[in-house]
Chain A
Amino acid sequence: MSNNIAVKVDDLTVAYNYKPVLWDIDLEIPEGVLMAIVGPNGAGKSTLIKSILGILKPIAGSVEIFGMSYAKQRHLVAYVPQKGSVDWDFPTTALDVVMMGTYGSLGWIKRPGQKEKKEALEALEKVGMLAFKNRQISQLSGGQQQRIFLARALVQNASIYFMDEPFQGVDATTEIAIINILKELRKAGKTVIVVHHDLQTVPEYFDWVTFLNVKKIATGPVKDIFNDDNLTKTYGINYKVSIQE
């Protein structure tokens, strides 16, 4: 972990129909961490990611990626949306979906060619899905679909990865495969930010954590701040987790 700040969020407030779902968030994410964002349903976890990525417009506040606006640093960022956010009956193949990860570096109008195809095939291999490259995406299992999404992010060769619930609806094997890839990314110096639901696995998977419930409750190293106090503040009930050593 270096001393650089990968993502800096200042006074961010986001509202749907004038009803704030995120209040005045200040957040600094150091480069090279594997961070979980945890919080109850409706806490604004996905909203936070989408606001950082410019998909949602905040009503106040600012976001910096390595010291500059997101629009300038887009090429450094990869995003894995929630699996349920797309229509898997869309007429396309696994390879084609992964190729979409290359569209950002291509820019408008330019089409993907052999180079992009080669990168996409390599990414498919990394997530163990090369054999399924020509499969129509609706014929993949939930875990396979999630791997395709991960491959699409890998192909972007970014510095920061945002993932919205990558473990939702996947089998145990896929979960392990995904977390291993995320740990490899961290080892390569990348910053990985994951919206996460399973509190039990936080200490095992992540080294950094942000507690969120409309406001930021706490952020920092898992070993320092992942405790019953913060969990109770975030989830509002007397929360107890046994942290496995």
Chain B
Amino acid sequence: MMSNAQFEIQLIASLVAIACAIPGTFLVLRKMAMISDAISHSILPGIVIGFFITQDLNSPLLILLAALTGILTVVLVEYIQKTGLVKEDTAIGLVFPILFSIGVILIAKNANDVHLDVDAVLLGELAFAPFDRLIISGVDVGPKSLWVIGSILIVTIGLLIAFFKELKISTFDAGLAASLGFSPAIIHYGLMTISSITTVGAFDAVGAILVVALMIAPAATAYLLTNDLKRMLLYAIGFGVFSAISGYWLAHGLDASIAGSITTMLGLVFLLVYLFAPNKGVIAVLYREKQQRTEVSLLTFLLHLKNHSEESERHVNHLNEHINWQKVRSKTVLDLALKNNMIQFDKNIVSLTEKGQLFTTQAIDYIITNEDGKIEHMKDDFFLFRG
């Protein structure tokens, strides 16, 4: 049986995953993945200062202060970039370590004796989340971090539904969005604010590094599987939640860090999709390339047969000697031609069949009229087997 604490940990992890996947999808599409890394580190001084003021890591004021540091990061990066002296990635690399180190010094100078250390910020500790309860007039209503991330998630989903159209147009075509009166700056800073708030709300539970992973990895995985923005959002949420829950049980089994295990699962899921995605996956791409290579070779071979009536040019061994192909390739091409009834053999002399003649003649027509694209459609009609 799952204990109550175990259930709560998985619920918090899942809500964090959803809250991260939504802004993460837009960050990935806007090619701003590195900004989330910057925000997650540079909110540290905001958290520390907020903690001095409120003495409560889950206080809304602390979250706002820290989120402001996140916005400050974005503004500074853009300001430095606008001078034209350094590029965006350099600007990011300049800004966040400075803000982060200010936070590190503040902690070392002032907060040594409290529950706030650099390790906790970087890695979080999900396992402790159920112990910090929210008590309202004596009644235990659940872990504080569940309420924090739950509220952030509700706001995020509300904004996503209200401004989906605006987010889409300004992400795809900022120029058009501006000309239609949807200020890309407002949407940009809105997205940055949500990303910052989500990062702060999630860091206590899962830490700064896992926040980045939960924002970027599920969105990057979903991007490989769909051509539809709504589906991409749903898939990203699905991958995030799956990794959160399976990561929890991996940590349980290995007796390891929950945050680390969830990140590992995110990486594994991405790797699997990266390899096996039906259209954009590595294997699908390699397979398509191999098929195309073989079929181009086949066409070359058929053209050669059509151009040469002399037997010496049509001898099987000629393929190796004169067209300069390796044995394996010649065999693949010959086999494919045979299987598709394009050629016939007469004592090692190859000639085109009637079907082969027809196919080759049509292909030549398309080649000389610069309509190579149509050869692809022709293949559907002629080929019983593909390369």
Answer whether A and B are interacting partners. Answer: yes
A residues whose Cβ falls under 8 Å from a Cβ of B: 17, 50, 53-55, 71, 74, 77, 79, 81, 85-87, 90-93, 97, 100, 103-104, 106-109, 111-112, 136, 138, 152
Return A48 CB to nearest CB of chain B, in Å.
Answer: 14
The answer to whether B228 has its CB under 8 Å from any CB of chain A is: yes
Contact of A53 among B83, B178, B223, B229 (CB under 8 A): B178
Rounded to whole angstroms, the CA-CA distance of A107 and B223 in the bound complex is 29
B232 engages A91 (CB within 8 Å): yes
A92 engages B182 (CB within 8 Å): no
A104 engages B181 (CB within 8 Å): yes
A90 engages B172 (CB within 8 Å): yes
> Cβ of B179: which chain A residues have Cβ within 8 Å of it?
53-55, 74, 77, 79, 104
Rounded to whole angstroms, the CA-CA distance of A216 and B228 in the bound complex is 44
Rounded to whole angstroms, the CA-CA distance of A189 and B172 in the bound complex is 31
Indicate whether A55 sits within 8 Å of B178 (C-beta atoms), given known contacts A91-B226, A91-B229, A91-B232: yes
The answer to whether B171 has its CB under 8 Å from any CB of chain A is: yes
A108 engages B166 (CB within 8 Å): yes
> Cβ of B84: which chain A residues have Cβ within 8 Å of it?
17
Return A179 CB to nearest CB of chain B, in Å.
Answer: 22
The answer to whether B321 has its CB under 8 Å from any CB of chain A is: no
Return B174 CB to nearest CB of chain A, in Å.
Answer: 8
> Cβ of B163: which chain A residues have Cβ within 8 Å of it?
108-109
> Cβ of B223: which chain A residues have Cβ within 8 Å of it?
91
Rounded to whole angstroms, the CA-CA distance of A90 and B171 in the bound complex is 9
The answer to whether B116 has its CB under 8 Å from any CB of chain A is: no
> Cβ of B180: which chain A residues have Cβ within 8 Å of it?
74, 103-104
Instruction: Please name the residue on chain A nearest to B184 by beta carbon.
Output: A55
Pull 26 A–B residue pairs with CB atoms less than 8 Å apart, ordered by A: A17-B82, A17-B83, A50-B175, A79-B179, A81-B176, A86-B172, A86-B173, A87-B29, A90-B29, A90-B229, A91-B223, A91-B227, A92-B172, A92-B227, A92-B229, A100-B172, A100-B176, A104-B181, A106-B165, A107-B181, A108-B166, A108-B182, A109-B166, A112-B165, A136-B227, A138-B227
A55 engages B165 (CB within 8 Å): no
* A interface footprint on B133-167 (CB within 8 Å = 1, 0 otherwise): 00000000000000000000000000000111110
> Cβ of B169: which chain A residues have Cβ within 8 Å of it?
100, 103
Instruction: Please name the residue on chain A nearest to B226 by beta carbon.
Output: A91
Rounded to whole angstroms, the CA-CA distance of A104 and B183 in the bound complex is 12
> Cβ of A81: which chain B residues have Cβ within 8 Å of it?
173, 175-176
B228 engages A91 (CB within 8 Å): yes
B181 engages A74 (CB within 8 Å): yes
B residues whose Cβ falls under 8 Å from a Cβ of A: 29, 31, 82-84, 162-166, 168-169, 171-173, 175-176, 178-182, 223, 226-229, 231-232
Indicate whether A100 sits within 8 Å of B173 (C-beta atoms), given known contacts A17-B83, A91-B227, A136-B227: yes
When A and B form their complex, which 8 residue pairs have the shortest distance between CB atoms, in order from nearest?
A104-B180, A136-B227, A79-B179, A53-B179, A81-B175, A55-B178, A86-B173, A90-B172
Q: A55-B175, A79-B179, A103-B182 are in contact. List 9 more A-B contacts (CB 8 A).
A: A81-B173, A81-B176, A85-B173, A86-B172, A92-B228, A103-B165, A103-B166, A111-B165, A138-B227
A87 engages B181 (CB within 8 Å): no
Return B13 CB to nearest CB of chain A, in Å.
Answer: 26
Return B278 CB to nearest CB of chain A, in Å.
Answer: 13
Instruction: Please name the residue on chain B nearest to A46 by beta carbon.
Output: B175
Instruction: Please name the residue on chain B nearest to A85 by beta carbon.
Output: B175
Return A93 CB to nearest CB of chain B, in Å.
Answer: 7
> Cβ of A108: which chain B residues have Cβ within 8 Å of it?
163, 166, 182
Rounded to whole angstroms, the CA-CA distance of A79 and B182 in the bound complex is 14
Rounded to whole angstroms, the CA-CA distance of A112 and B84 in the bound complex is 39
Instruction: Please name the residue on chain A nearest to B173 by beta carbon.
Output: A86
Indicate whether A71 sits within 8 Å of B181 (C-beta atoms), given known contacts A17-B83, A90-B29, A97-B172: yes
Rounded to whole angstroms, the CA-CA distance of A71 and B180 in the bound complex is 9
> Cβ of A87: which chain B residues have Cβ within 8 Å of it?
29, 31, 172
Rounded to whole angstroms, the CA-CA distance of A87 and B168 in the bound complex is 12
Return A134 CB to nearest CB of chain B, in Å.
Answer: 10
> Cβ of A50: which chain B residues have Cβ within 8 Å of it?
175
Rounded to whole angstroms, the CA-CA distance of A100 and B178 in the bound complex is 12
> Cβ of A104: which chain B residues have Cβ within 8 Å of it?
179-181
> Cβ of A74: which chain B residues have Cβ within 8 Å of it?
179-181
Return A238 CB to nearest CB of chain B, in Å.
Answer: 35
> Cβ of B168: which chain A residues have Cβ within 8 Å of it?
92, 100
Rounded to whole angstroms, the CA-CA distance of A206 and B178 in the bound complex is 28
Interface centre among A71, A77, A92, A136 (most CB of B within 10 A): A92
Rounded to whole angstroms, the CA-CA distance of A152 and B226 in the bound complex is 23
Rounded to whole angstroms, the CA-CA distance of A85 and B179 in the bound complex is 14
Rounded to whole angstroms, the CA-CA distance of A106 and B181 in the bound complex is 11
Rounded to whole angstroms, the CA-CA distance of A81 and B169 in the bound complex is 13
Rounded to whole angstroms, the CA-CA distance of A138 and B226 in the bound complex is 12
Rounded to whole angstroms, the CA-CA distance of A50 and B84 in the bound complex is 20
Return A110 CB to nearest CB of chain B, in Å.
Answer: 8
Rounded to whole angstroms, the CA-CA distance of A136 and B162 in the bound complex is 25
Rounded to whole angstroms, the CA-CA distance of A104 and B181 in the bound complex is 7
